[in-house]
Amino acid sequence: MGIEILVAEDFASMSEVAAEIAKEKIRQILKQKQEIVLGLATGNSPTGLYKHLAKAANQGGFDSTRCRSFNLDEYVGLPGENAQLRMMHPESYAYFMIQEFFGLLKGKFIETNVPCGALIEQKKLIAELKANPQDWEEKGSDKGKSIVIRSNPVSAYLGWIKKEVLDGYARKIKKTGGVDLQIIGVGGRGHVAFHESGIPFKGGNVLLVKLDDNTVVNAVTDGHFATRKDYPQYAVSMGAELVYKAKTVMLLANGERKLEPITRSILDKPSAEIPISYGQIYSERGGNLIYVLDRIAGRGLLAGRQALKARGIRIREVDVPALTETALTA
């Protein structure tokens, strides 16, 4: 247990290294029990990994029909007059997972789960929040906020969101025994899923989040939405505390935008400003944390080798498929 950092040459190499580690983890776990619970992320970082995993499963590398999955997050407020249309919007994370992973598999998972953000009508949510300020409070020190709905709210709609959409998703994960292998990426300010920078670590398994302007700008810059007006204002997301309850967490990151948050997440002290820095606390409590990075995102950690070594953190530059035995068996 602890923190293992692997630095590959580029996105393609990072994806292949991550897929080899994930495939071996899945094989090991399926030797020990009947099914594996995977935590899955969206975004650009895991797309190469998913293609490699789908290919491996289709070629008999592991049995995908013994896999169950839970995704990290989903938007609230995508265009569409009903939940079905919102869920199948091209920018929904449910649609993303079908396109990038689930639809590539010959043997389908036992079950796939995505937070039910599509069930929430954003206009009604905003109206209920405005009409019932006593039912909720904001938590967070930056522009992105967690909307914490109090127990027994006056608003039946807010009560339904809390009980069924938020707490219901957490209950379902717990009922399966928890996530065995969690795949995550990282936002430009260090956020994991939609646990935005500044939202406290404690107090929320599954969050209703008012999204940060920076998150909106990055999504538009990356081409996911044409303008800021098209972007949803809210999302449902696992919080960092829940993400890091998985038995193993594998974080993927590539590119210049990820360099600062990746470096700070390990070399600085844990802080809600960089939500993925919670991984340090997770590893200290016995969690198994693996970073798989490209050379650009990993540049700061490579420069800090001595500081990492002093703390017992392993970092290695890897070629494909020459992975360290410790990375595959940790």
Which of these CATH numbers, 2.60.34.10, 3.30.1180.20, 2.60.40.1220, 3.40.50.1360, describes 2-329? Answer: 3.40.50.1360
The answer on pLDDT for 323 being more than 60 is: no
More confident residue, 318 or 219: 318
Where in the chain are the domains?
2-329
Residues 6+ apart with CB under 8 A from 165: 115, 116, 117, 119, 120, 206, 208, 236
pTM score, whole prediction: 0.93
Residue 222: what pLDDT? 73
Which pLDDT band holds residue 228 (cuts at 50, 70, 90)? confident
The answer on pLDDT for 324 being more than 50 is: no
The answer on pLDDT for 270 being more than 70 is: yes
Whole-number percent of the chain with pLDDT over 90: 87
Q: Where are the alpha helices (DSSP H) in the chain?
A: 11-32, 47-58, 83-87, 93-100, 122-131, 156-160, 167-175, 213-221, 240-243, 259-267, 278-284, 299-303, 305-310, 325-329
Residue 325: what pLDDT? 46
Whether residue 321 has a cis bond before it, omega within 30° of 0: yes
The answer on pLDDT for 177 being more than 50 is: yes
> CA–CA separation, 231 vs 221, rounded Å?
12
Strand partners, 55: none
State the number of CA atoms in the 13 A half-sphere of 116 facing the CB. Answer: 17
